[in-house]
Structure 1
Amino acid sequence: MITERRLWQALILAGLALFFLNAKGIISISSLSLPWRCPFKLLTGLPCPGCGMTHAAKSFLQGNFCDAFSTNPLIFLFVGLVFMLAFLPDKALFFLQRKGFWKVILLLVLIWWLTRLILRI
């Protein structure tokens, strides 16, 4: 039976494999796209805090970290959390169970969203 930790590790290894295969030109992840659009943006015309996360993930996997950051800097927070869950699950759970941790995450998301709205990024 596959444990949750092994599943996270397999997902990270798959992401790293995509990164290296793309870097070697064997595959191209730049042509991948999702079949849906952000419902928040469709309803309001404004980007949600997660808008651009797919593009940021593609850029991250291609090794274009500057583009990933400029598209949506929250990708680094997401990748960090995934790595912690996969390789340091006890420490990750320690942080995830703290209210203060979620307050910091929420504050970072709100700061990014307000910056994006004010600067029209």
Structure 2
Amino acid sequence: MSRKKRLMESIRMIKADLWSIRYVILVLAVYFFLAWNFFYSSCPFVMVTGLPCPGCGLSRAGFCLLRGEFADAWYLNPFIYGIAFLATAFVIRRYVLQKEVRSLQKWLILLLAGMLVFYIYRMIRYFPGESPMSYYPGNLLNRIYQALGRIM
């Protein structure tokens, strides 16, 4: 297959993939708009419980990685490097090489398991204190608890 045909096929695949998840993209865009403009966090886990989630720090780490602040990215959440590697591998396999991507699934599961173990470690070692392992008292469960306390 010529380069031009491969490029055109890759572009077609990207368009088709984006079109197939258009409603997910729309819902996420609305969610993040509302979260960033009306709440203190964009993480539903934090908004409900006030506790950091296993992915806490990933967004900030991703932005640090894009700015070339590698040490800061590592500090916030070292799993950003695994996510960046898997995302790059996905893009190359799917759109450049035009091969299946299902084989990356085992690496994603391994990455998520590692994130969970690391989360437990960080909760034991750093919670509640160092960012991003902070407690947010304005969470929904705390508000419900306080409201019930006033009623009873």
Counterpart residue identity of residue 83, structure 1? T
What TM-score, normalized by structure 2, do the two folds share?
0.51
Shift of 1:64: 0.8
Q: Gapped runs of 5+ residues in structure 1?
A: 9-33
Identity of aligned residues (%): 28
Alignment check: 8 A CA contact 1:84 1:91 kept: no
Counterpart residue identity of residue 95, structure 1? L
2:125 aligned with 1:119: yes
Alignment check: 8 A CA contact 2:58 2:77 kept: yes
Could you tell me which residue of structure 1 aligns to residue 91 of structure 2? 86
Q: Count the aligned residue pairs.
A: 93
CA-to-partner distance for each residue in 1:33-77, whole Å, 9 max, x for gaps? x71512211222210011111110110001111110110112111
Q: Gapped runs of 5+ residues in structure 2?
A: 1-10, 19-34, 127-132, 134-152
Alignment check: 8 A CA contact 1:85 1:93 kept: no
Match of 2:47 among 22, 42, 45: 42
2:64 aligned with 1:55: no
Counterpart residue identity of residue 115, structure 2? V
Rounded to whole Å, the distance in 2 between the matches of 1:62 and 1:113 is 25
The two structures, once aligned, show a CA RMSD in angstroms of 2.7
2:78 aligned with 1:73: yes
Q: Which has the larger radius of gyration?
A: 2
